[in-house]
């Protein structure tokens, strides 16, 4: 029988920044207008989990500034509990600026010394983690500061009996955040300690070997009870230490407006499927459906199909899904 996290509330912990992006999505050099939104891997996951009806809290820190107030209000408006987000009067809210181009979207970050970079292991104490079923983290957080790395390390190294929640970890490699070249070792070690781990095949190849297959990635990360390897627009493969085999579900063909945020959306859909107690195939399909919602918009958070359409897609036979995905 496949292991599942216990159903219950989820906590997503990590930095969210204000985001500026050209609107329409032209290169920044030629942009006449910028649109203000918010962007953060962990809050993206939280907002999509809320869309799926999963009770979820976002845990972080923001500056006591207009951008911080905007971030808090936006995440709360999506149905996420933000009551435990700390306001730091001495540090600013981080900012990113997107620069779309023919080769993809480049992102400029202005986050050094931000409020969230001062988070530390003490963030794991108290509510809302005392009642959480699952804590979701990413590889972005340990790159922000030494205290943030200690936070993530403590969450992942605690004995399972010492914490009431499972831990989900998305590698989410951001090369610019790892100038010392330590990303390969640090991210592999952290991901291997998680109960559930996510990694893009392109990320894994950049970190651990350019010719890796999904099965090779599993060999690199044998520790997680569930490992999901995402191969972009092609497919996603889930490995479990306790089930009947390996599950691979092709991704549906989708018109891409902007790819940023799709990996977070996929993680949220997959986690929602697991928390519902569904099969791996169901969870992978829900991940793809959720990711498509992010791909179709310029921001990181797009509207899901209505529940009836979701259920119709999730009920397709394998052959019907493959035909629809093409």
Catalytic residues: 264
DSSP 81: B
Interatomic CA distance for residues 76 and 94, integer angstroms? 18
Interatomic CA distance for residues 56 and 50, integer angstroms? 6
Interatomic CA distance for residues 58 and 48, integer angstroms? 12
Residue with tokens 């999963």: 54
Confirm if 78 and 31 have CB atoms less than 8 A apart: no
E strand residue ranges, the chain: 10-13, 17-22, 34-39, 56-59, 61-63, 86-88, 95-101, 104-110, 134-138, 166-170, 196-200, 226-231, 235-240, 247-250
**Nearest CA-CA partner of 59 in 129, 130, 163, 155:** 129
Interatomic CA distance for residues 19 and 39, integer angstroms? 6
Q: Give me the count of residues in the chain.
A: 326
DSSP 131: G
For residue 37, give Cα distances in angstroms to 45, 71, 98, 270: 16, 8, 11, 25
Please state whether beta strands 17-22 and 95-101 pair in parallel, antiparallel, or not at all (unpaired).
parallel
Interatomic CA distance for residues 201 and 205, integer angstroms? 6
**Helix 318-325 × helix 280-295 angle, to 10°:** 20
């Amino acid at each position: 029988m496949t292991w599942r996290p216990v159903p219950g509330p989820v906590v997503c912990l990590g930095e969210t920044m204000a985001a500026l992006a050209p609107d329409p999505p032209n290169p920044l050099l030629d942009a006449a207008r910028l649109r203000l939104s918010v962007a953060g891997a962990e809050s993206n996951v939280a907002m999509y989990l809320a869309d799926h009806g999963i009770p979820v809290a976002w845990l972080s820190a923001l500056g006591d500034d207009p951008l911080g107030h905007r971030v808090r209000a936006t995440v709360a408006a999506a149905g996420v509990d933000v009551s435990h987000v700390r306001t730091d009067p001495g540090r600013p809210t981080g900012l990113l600026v997107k620069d779309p181009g023919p080769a993809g979207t480049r992102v400029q970050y202005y986050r050094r010394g931000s409020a969230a970079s001062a988070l530390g292991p003490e963030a794991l104490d108290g509510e809302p983690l005392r009642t959480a079923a699952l804590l979701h983290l990413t590889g972005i957080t340990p790159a922000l500061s030494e205290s943030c790395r200690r936070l993530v390390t403590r969450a992942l190294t605690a004995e399972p009996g010492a914490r009431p929640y499972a831990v989900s970890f998305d590698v989410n490699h951001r090369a610019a955040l790892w100038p010392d070249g330590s990303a390969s070792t640090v991210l592999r070690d952290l991901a291997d300690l998680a109960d559930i781990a996510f990694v893009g095949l392109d990320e894994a190849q950049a970190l651990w070997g350019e010719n890796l297959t999904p099965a090779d990635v599993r060999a690199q990360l044998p520790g997680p009870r569930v490992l999901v390897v995402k191969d972009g627009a092609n497919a996603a493969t889930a490995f479990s230490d306790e089930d009947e085999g390996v599950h691979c579900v092709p991704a549906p063909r989708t018109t891409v407006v902007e790819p940023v945020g799709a990996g977070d959306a996929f993680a949220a859909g997959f986690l929602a499927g697991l928390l519902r107690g569904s099969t791996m195939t169901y969870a992978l399909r829900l991940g793809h459906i959720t990711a498509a919602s992010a791909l179709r918009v310029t921001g990181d958070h797009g509207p899901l199909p209505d529940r009836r359409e979701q259920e119709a897609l999730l009920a397709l036979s394998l052959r019907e899904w493959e035909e629809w995905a093409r």
